[in-house]
């Protein structure tokens, strides 16, 4: 194998580097615990749910693409972790005032939630 071919093979084996953020950029994220008070399907979609959440003193609305993984009745009362300082966005005409955090793999999707009961609105550090 020539040096050029070997270099090409080595490049193929290298994984692309992830975009790294600084600690200062990470500190800008405001992660908070929220409680789901209401959940309903977004009309005209199979994937989206509209969630009414409580951050303690503050109420918000989120839109999340989790309907294929969760029934609305199983979500009410559940605590989740959200990005609280995300710019609001309209998703299918419905305003979303944050983003919930979830992990997924081949077996499905799991919402991130505190290990135990904690005050709604608590900051995640």
33 found inside a domain: yes
Percent of the chain residues topping a pLDDT of 90: 85
Residue 84 phi, psi dihedral angles, 5° rounding: -90, -20
Quote the number of domains for the chain: 1
- Per-residue pLDDT of 49-99, as tens digits, reads 999 999 999 999 999 999 999 999 999 999 999 999 999 999 999 999 999
Of residues 107 and 1, the one with the higher pLDDT is 107
Q: What is the pLDDT of residue 9?
A: 61
Residue 21 lies in a domain: no
Question: What range defines the domain where residue 112 resides?
Answer: 29-125
Residue 3 lies in a domain: no
Q: What is the mean pLDDT of the chain?
A: 92
The reply to whether 17 falls in a domain is: no
Beta-bridge mates of residue 93: none
In a domain? residue 103 = yes
Count, residues in the chain:
125
CATH number, domain of 66, equals 2.40.50.140
């Amino acid at each position: 194998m020539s040096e050029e071919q070997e270099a090409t093979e080595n490049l193929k084996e290298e994984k692309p580097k992830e975009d790294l953020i600084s600690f200062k950029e990470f500190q800008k994220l405001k992660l908070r615990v929220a409680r789901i008070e209401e959940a309903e399907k977004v009309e005209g979609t199979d994937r989206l749910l509209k969630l009414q959440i409580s951050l303690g003193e503050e109420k918000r609305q989120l839109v999340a693409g989790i309907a294929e993984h969760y029934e609305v009745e199983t979500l009410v009362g559940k605590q989740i972790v959200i990005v609280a300082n995300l710019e609001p966005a309209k998703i299918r005409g419905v305003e979303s005032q944050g983003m919930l955090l979830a992990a997924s793999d081949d077996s499905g999707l799991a919402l991130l939630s505190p290990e135990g009961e904690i005050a709604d609105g608590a900051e995640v550090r």
